[in-house]
Structure 1
Amino acid sequence: MKYVILVYGNATTRQMWENMTEEQRLEGWKGHIAVREGLAASGELVLSEALADTSLTKRVTGTVVTDGPFAEVKEHLAGFYVVDCENIDRAIEHAGKLPESTFGLVEVRPVLDGM
């Protein structure tokens, strides 16, 4: 079954990231690299991408397009992994290895089949 692991960020984690040294940032990326490599090695990785800054976001409502970021949200989607795992517990196991899980900023959702 496919699951999407959603990785969020917020103003606090963004500030923490900006205040880190280059070495500290590299350590953060190493956490993601390890999860991605583990998923690839197990054959469970379908797709993984980091997303551009929310300032580049566009929201479409009917025929109206507005620029982001959108201040009414506390957290923004920073990236995602699509995984194909035996069950949700296995997807949660992978999600728990992500650095953002420490802050409660990772969500696991089943992907609907047939859509």
Structure 2
Amino acid sequence: MYYAILAYHEEGVVESWTKEEDAALMTELLQINDRLVQEKSLGPAARLGSTQSAVTLRGKGAGIVTDGPFAETKEQLLGFYVVDFPTFEAAVEAARDLRRVNPTAVYEIRPISLYIPGAPLESRDEE
């Protein structure tokens, strides 16, 4: 079964890390990613950009685009993993591995009720 592991953190804290601190954390997180890939348990994963450059689409019809997400939370959604495990407990254990490396983050584990992998994306540089 597919599960989403949603990574939340205080954006200001993450943005305060030096490039070296961020690189060190990413090195450790990528070791877990590599292990999950070898186990054939990891699907798409992404580190999201700043909420300051995000917009929200809501409303009727075509909707209205407004600035940013405005959730009443201390942490922001900063990334996610899609994993495939036979049990919910195994997905929770994968999230525990991520938290051991990044103990100030909060991880939400949620079953995915529909998973459509889509087509591989090639990066398109903005002109």
**Aligned-partner Cα distance in 2 for 1:114–1:34:** 25
Match of 2:46 in 1: 49
Unaligned runs of 5+ in 1: none
User: In the alignment, what sits opposite 1:86?
Assistant: 86
Larger Rg belongs to: 2
| Other-structure match for 1:59 | 56
Q: Does the C-alpha gap of structure 1 residues 93 and 71 become closer, same or farther in structure 2, counting only changes over 3 Å?
A: closer
Give 2:55's aligned amino acid: K
Residues 114 and 102 (structure 1), Cα distance of their counterparts in 2 relative to 1, 3 Å cut: closer
Change (3 A) 1:89 1:101: farther
Question: Do the aligned partners of 1:31 and 1:97 also contact (CA within 8 Å) in 2?
Answer: no
Kept in 2, the 8 Å contact 1:58–1:67? The answer is: yes
Residue equivalent to 1:33: 30
Per the alignment, do residues 90 and 81 of structure 1 end up closer, same or farther by CA in structure 2, a change over 3 Å counting?
Answer: same
- Percent identical residues: 33
Aligned to 2:108: 107
TM-score (norm 1): 0.83
**Superposed displacement of residue 83, structure 1:** 0.5
SS of corresponding position for 2:103: helix
Structure richer in helix, relative to its length: 1
Structure 1 stretch 71-80 or stretch 45-54: which is displaced more?
Answer: 71-80
**Mapped contact 2:56–2:69 kept (Cα < 8 A):** no
SS at match of 2:70: coil
- Larger mean CA deviation between 30-39 and 61-70 belongs to 61-70
Question: Displacement of 1:42 after TM fit?
Answer: 0.2
* Deviation at residue 58 of structure 1 after TM alignment: 0.9
Q: Which amino acid aligns with 1:108?
A: I
Q: For 2:40 and 2:19, how far apart are their aligned partners in 1?
A: 31
